[in-house]
Amino acid sequence: QPISERKQLLTEIEAFLLKNKMPPSRFGRLAMNDTGFMTRFRNGADVRMETAATLRTFMERYEKRVRPKTRVPRPEPLSRVA
């Protein structure tokens, strides 16, 4: 049986939350201006197609904005010539 669109979206969001170490309430606030969104969605609430598109767009844009924090090595100090 094919996976439902709702379940697919939930899987995508859960993966996004884990990857970005983002609490569900923060995701809801940033993506939907609704801190309780993920609680309701996880508990079976449906979303409209437009809402699903908004959520996916948010995740794509967030991924592009956030760059992995890489440590840039400091240059070695110049040695003084005596």
Q: Which residue has the higher pLDDT, 67 or 56?
A: 56
25 band by pLDDT with thresholds 50, 70 and 90: very high
The token duo for 48 is 């409209």
Percent of the chain's residues with pLDDT above 70: 78
Given 3-state DSSP classes, what are the helix, strand and coil percentages for the chain, each rounded to the nearest 5? 60, 0, 40
Q: Residue 66 belongs to what H/E stretch?
A: none
Find out whether 65 and 55 touch, Cβ atoms under 8 Å: no
Q: What are phi and psi of 50, to 5 degrees?
A: -65, -40
Give the per-residue pLDDT at 77.
66
In terms of pLDDT, which residue wins out, 37 or 69?
A: 37
SS3 12: helix
DSSP 21-54: T--HHHHHHHHHS-TTHHHHHHTT----HHHHHH
Average pLDDT score over the chain: 88
Its pTM surpasses 0.85 = no
